[in-house]
Amino acid sequence: KSHESVLKGLITDPHILVEGKYKDAIMAKNNIHLMMASNENWIIPAGHDERRFCVIDVSEEKKQNTEYFAALYKEIDSGGTEAMLHDLLNYDLSNFNVRKVPQTGALTHQKLRSLRGPDAWLYHCLQIGVMAHQPWLRNQPLQIRKTDAYNSYAESYKINGEYRPVDVGQFSKTLQTILEEALQKPRLTTAEGQRPYGYRFAPLDAARAMFEKYIGGAVPWEEPDYPSEESI
């Protein structure tokens, strides 16, 4: 997290600070071309509307295929590198938009791994089909006190030992931004006749669809671990 702005600056800033050995630092044109390869689950800090990173999973189809790689290295050593450079230099980029990043499944995975705050808490609730110990059914709205939802979020941060939770106002605003019309904020009526402020969430499938719209990609959802609606 502490180096996130530095990494993003290397990618998009038009000028960067360069400091040569025993020389004063100067501003220079940013000519950095950045490519990373990693086996880690979380590689980049990808936001829900990410425009800096193109993320691709490498196929394992040719893994341990010695004949394939022997032929590949032979081609590389026999002019293949030069031929590839020729193709790249002559590739038509007239309709290319560098900010229109391909929305791949690998990028979606990085977005999910980068979630923090209320976003991460809501994703967890949607994934398990439970919020504040209440089942979130596929075909029925979920009504819950605002304080119960916020306390569940705040408690998750105590358990994980992460950053300080946002206040309830920012928490509510974030949920609304993600779920849009799939979230309403009515006054609830309790058995004791009280009228606490609450949330009414759309049924689980509809809320998951809104989350996918927000994140910009299909999410691999788990099957909720509770009885079917017909048996409840």
Between the alpha carbon of residue 65 and those of residues 57, 75, 77, 80, the distances in Å are 18, 16, 19, 20
Whether the pLDDT of residue 232 is over 90: the answer is no
Of 96, 98, 55, 97, the closest CA to residue 216 belongs to 55
Domain ranges of the chain: 115-231
Find the mean pLDDT for residues 69-94.
96
Which of 39-43, 48-52, 203-207, 221-225 is most confident?
Answer: 203-207
pLDDT given for residue 228 in this prediction: 52
Query: Domain 115-231 maps to which CATH number in 3.40.190.10, 3.40.309.10, 1.10.10.10, 3.90.1150.10?
Result: 1.10.10.10
Of residues 206 and 226, the one with the higher pLDDT is 206
pLDDT given for residue 54 in this prediction: 92
Find the mean pLDDT for residues 53-69.
94
Instruction: Say how far residue 64 (Cα) sits from the centre of its chain.
Output: 31
pLDDT interval class at 231 (50, 70, 90): very low
pLDDT interval class at 4 (50, 70, 90): confident
Collect all residues with Cβ–Cβ distance below 8 Å to 48 and sequence separation of at least 6.
111, 119, 214, 215, 216
Collect all residues with Cβ–Cβ distance below 8 Å to 205 and sequence separation of at least 6.
138, 139
Whether the pLDDT of residue 188 is over 80: the answer is no
pLDDT given for residue 159 in this prediction: 67
Whether the pLDDT of residue 161 is over 70: the answer is no
User: 3-state DSSP call for residue 7?
Assistant: helix
For 23-60, the pLDDT digits (tens) are 899 999 999 989 999 999 999 999 999 989 999 999 99
